[in-house]
Amino acid sequence: MRWEEIDVGEPGAGEVLLKQTAVGLNFIDVYHRSGAYKLPQLPGSIGMEAAGVVEAVGPGVTEFKPGDRVAYAGYAPGAYTERRIMPDHRLVPVPDGIEDNQAAAMMLQGMTTEYLLCRTYPVKAGETVLFHAAAGGVGLIACQWLKKIGATVIGTVGSDEKAELAKAHGCDHTIVYSRENFVERVKEITDGKGVPVVYDSVGKDTWEGSLDCLQQRGLMVSFGAASGTPPDFSVNTLQFKGSLYVTRPTMLHYVAERSDLLKSAKTLFEMVRNGLKVEVNQSYALKDAAQAHRDLEARKTTGSTILLP
Ligand SMILES: NC(=O)c1ccc[n+]([C@@H]2O[C@H](COP(=O)([O-])OP(=O)(O)OC[C@H]3O[C@@H](n4cnc5c(N)ncnc54)[C@H](OP(=O)(O)O)[C@@H]3O)[C@@H](O)[C@H]2O)c1
């Protein structure tokens, strides 16, 4: 990655020029940088979320005016920049009481948590669920959200320090999967029953074990691949492991309609107003994005991370 001057131009019809105040770091940025996910063009920019202030609006923009505080997540890559032109329909107004840094840190991880827990598999009070990488950005938000629903949370983490952090954010049972067999521990915790849903963003390393943690007719939500892409599998596996379901969701499809985007953001903002904490545990200068990537990939970060332009 290289820091370069470019001309962002003027906003056209339906577009807004943003002065970005904080950019969110997400694991998808690593997939875009490494080539695991293709960028629309090269050379290009990466980054999927930011917060900032509207500087200028193009013809036909009625919802926003210069000076408005906005944030976004779930549009084309290109957030690693000081200024950016965005289509107005992908922006969300940031309410008073939510700071820019917090907004930039939580839009993608928070709206992901919303769709995963409320729409992909609507978790009910009293259910026990398995959530991998529980001390990460999505993980810490999800632990708190699941507690608010009234679920029992089993979370996997890479170290004892991360286990403490996850517990402090509502995780009932932590499993240090680098040294413990998480399938055995989940069976122990659930009296041999398994869980109705597994949220797996680790991918390759946990895929097989996650399927083995499910109850009959349980749902495997494979929503990321921090350790690598999960293996191809025979559909018959789902029969033999208990008539299982599998889905591979992505936030883009859950907030594609503007009404869904605004509803998801509203639910997230309400959660934050009601006490959910977005832990911005790392911040870097945007120019140091390469170091931020190294730390994220080396599993050195916890909670959310922002890059400051
Ligand atoms: N599908 C969607 O809509 C969607 C949206 C947002 C995020 N995601 C996915 O959700 C996951 C979490 O995203 P995030 O931005 O919040 O990142 P994060 O959880 O803060 O960071 C990734 C974590 O994954 C764990 N991990 C396990 N094996 C790893 C490996 N080999 N290399 C690196 N990390 C490994 C690490 O935690 P431990 O040390 O505790 O294992 C690491 O801290 C990512 O997989 C991301 O792609 C998906």
Instruction: Quick: pLDDT tens for 28-46.
Output: 999 999 999 999 888 899 9
Name the residue at shortest CA distance from atom 45 of ligand 1: 224
Q: Quick check: do 15-107+258-308 and 125-247 share a fold? A: no
Query: What are the residue ranges spanned by the domains of the chain?
Result: 15-107+258-308, 125-247
Whether 110 is in the pocket of ligand 1, judged by its Cβ within 6 Å, is no
Pocket test for ligand 1, best of 107, 132, 138, 296 (most atoms within 8 A of CB): 138
pLDDT for 74 equals 83
Contact 109, 54 (CB under 8 A): no
Residue appearing with tokens 């978790």: 123
Digitized pLDDT (tens) for each residue of the chain, 309 residues in all: 999 999 999 999 999 999 999 999 999 999 999 999 999 888 899 999 999 999 999 999 999 999 999 999 989 999 999 999 999 999 999 999 999 999 999 999 999 999 999 999 999 999 999 999 999 999 999 999 999 999 999 999 999 999 999 999 999 999 999 999 999 999 999 999 999 999 999 999 999 999 999 999 999 999 999 999 999 999 999 999 999 999 999 999 999 999 999 999 999 999 999 999 999 999 999 999 999 999 999 999 999 999 999
Positions of E strands within 231-286: 245-247, 280-285
Expressed in angstroms and rounded, the spacing between residue 133 Cα and the centre of ligand 1 is 6
Atom of ligand 1 nearest to the CA of 25: 15
Pocket test for ligand 1, best of 26, 27, 37 (most atoms within 8 A of CB): 27
- Spatial separation of the C-alpha atoms in residues 86 and 264, rounded to whole Å: 19
Pairwise CA distance, residues 16 & 158, whole Å: 41
Q: How far is the CA of 67 from the centre of ligand 1 (A)?
A: 34
Could you tell me where the beta strands, DSSP code E, fall in the chain? 15-25, 49-57, 69-73, 83-87, 92-93, 128-131, 152-157, 173-176, 195-200, 214-222, 245-247, 280-285, 304-308
Atom nearest to 302 CA in ligand 1: 20
The reply to whether ligand 1 has any atom less than 6 angstroms from the CB of 141 is no
| 275 Ramachandran zone, left/alpha/beta (phi>0; psi -120 to 50) | left
What's the predicted TM-score (pTM) here? 0.98
User: Tens digits of per-residue pLDDT, 97-146?
Assistant: 999 999 999 999 999 999 999 999 999 999 999 999 999 999 999 999 99
Question: Left (φ > 0), alpha (ψ -120 to 50) or beta: where does 49 sit?
Answer: beta
Q: Which CATH architecture has domain 125-247?
A: 3-Layer(aba) Sandwich (3.40)
* DSSP category for residue 190: T
Look at ligand 1, atom 12, and give the residue with the nearest C-alpha. 138
Domain 15-107+258-308, CATH homologous superfamily name and number: Medium-chain alcohol dehydrogenases, catalytic domain (3.90.180.10)
Q: What is the pLDDT of residue 261?
A: 98
